[in-house]
């Protein structure tokens, strides 16, 4: 018997980078927002339309398109910011400067999380528990969130449908990213669906078959 997961997900693409900000609404109406990169008004409107109350803010990593709106959303809702991993202070503390450099306005604000996350930690919204995995490579303190019963993961900029995260930024590392994907993501199972930081959803199995960078036959050198 298939059971519906006890939560709903709505994706709200935000910023000129079309970042997949996700709102997770538990059955009791409590909601977590993953990666509020900006356009906080739109995020709040989307939550309202779902009859959801924002209680948690979760960050996969500290790039401006993922974290720029976190402090503003926290001020408006009182929700604590959880994530990313402590190493991510490198990016979280230069969001304001990066926003100016990329010319997306003065919206970007440095983030001070209420809680750092690490491998083996869990985060919770309305009784729904997500496992946290530390997945560096794209950035030094990147984490992902996985909901076991729903077989659903929110992977930020680690993996995309058909592609992988960039590693040409300061403190990016290609080999580390590949290890994060093969050692942390793949073990979650081929039928696990994932919401990437940008673009359409996919499954880990589909990427193991067809991804130009991390398909099994590509990594095997075939």
User: Min. distance of Cβ 53 from Zn ion in angstroms?
Assistant: 26
SS3 221: coil
**Residues 6+ positions from 186 with CB-CB distance below 8 Å:** 204, 208
Among 35, 44, 157, 207, binds Zn ion (CB under 5 A): 157
Give the number of other Cβ atoms within 10 Å of residue 155's Cβ: 29
Window contacting Zn ion (CB under 5 A); options: 45-53, 108-116, 124-132, 155-163: 155-163
* CA 31 to chain centroid: 15
Q: Does 44 bind Zn ion (CB under 5 A)?
A: no
Q: Which residues pair with 7 in a beta bridge?
A: 26
Crossing angle between the packed helical segments 70-77 and 40-49, to the nearest 10 degrees = 50
- By beta-carbon proximity to Zn ion, the closer residue of 38 and 126 is 38
Among 65, 87, 109, 207, binds Zn ion (CB under 5 A): 65
State the binding string over 84-123 for Zn ion (x if CB under 5 A, else -).
----------------------------------------
User: Min. distance of Cβ 171 from Zn ion in angstroms?
Assistant: 12
Window contacting Zn ion (CB under 5 A); options: 59-67, 90-98, 200-208, 210-218: 59-67
- By beta-carbon proximity to Zn ion, the closer residue of 137 and 197 is 197
Strands in 104-168 per DSSP E: 122-125, 128-134, 143-147, 152-156, 159-160, 163-164
- By beta-carbon proximity to Zn ion, the closer residue of 63 and 184 is 63
Window contacting Zn ion (CB under 5 A); options: 45-53, 99-107, 180-188, 192-200: 192-200
* CA 128 to chain centroid: 17
Exposure on the CB side of residue 117, measured as CA atoms within 13 A: 30
Window contacting Zn ion (CB under 5 A); options: 24-32, 55-63, 100-108, 113-121: 55-63
User: Min. distance of Cβ 130 from Zn ion in angstroms?
Assistant: 20
* End-to-end CA, the chain: 39
Among 89, 197, 202, 204, binds Zn ion (CB under 5 A): 197
Q: Does 63 bind Zn ion (CB under 5 A)?
A: yes
* Of 101, 127, 131, 108, the residue nearest 36 (C-alpha): 108
Residues that bind Zn ion (CB under 5 A): 63, 65, 157, 197
């Amino acid at each position: 018997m298939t059971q519906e997961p006890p939560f709903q997900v709505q994706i709200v693409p935000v910023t000129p980078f079309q970042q997949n900000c996700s709102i997770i609404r538990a059955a009791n109406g409590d909601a977590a927002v993953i990666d509020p990169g900006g356009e906080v008004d739109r995020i709040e409107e989307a939550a309202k339309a779902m009859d959801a109350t924002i209680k948690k803010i979760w960050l996969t990593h500290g790039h401006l398109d993922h974290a720029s709106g976190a402090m503003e959303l926290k001020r408006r809702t009182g929700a604590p910011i959880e994530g990313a991993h402590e190493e991510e202070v490198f990016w979280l503390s230069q969001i304001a400067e990066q926003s100016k450099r990329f010319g997306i306005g003065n919206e970007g604000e440095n983030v001070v999380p209420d809680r750092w996350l690490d491998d083996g930690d869990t985060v919770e919204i309305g009784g729904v528990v997500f496992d946290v995995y530390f997945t560096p490579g794209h950035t030094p303190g990147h984490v992902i969130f996985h909901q076991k019963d729903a077989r659903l993961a929110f992977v930020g900029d680690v993996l995309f449908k058909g592609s992988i995260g960039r590693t040409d930024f300061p403190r990016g590392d290609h080999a580390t990213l590949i290890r994060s994907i093969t050692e942390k993501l793949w073990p979650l199972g081929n039928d696990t669906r994932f919401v990437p930081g940008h673009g359409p959803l996919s499954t880990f199995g589909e990427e193991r078959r067809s991804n130009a960078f991390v398909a099994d036959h590509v990594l095997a050198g075939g």
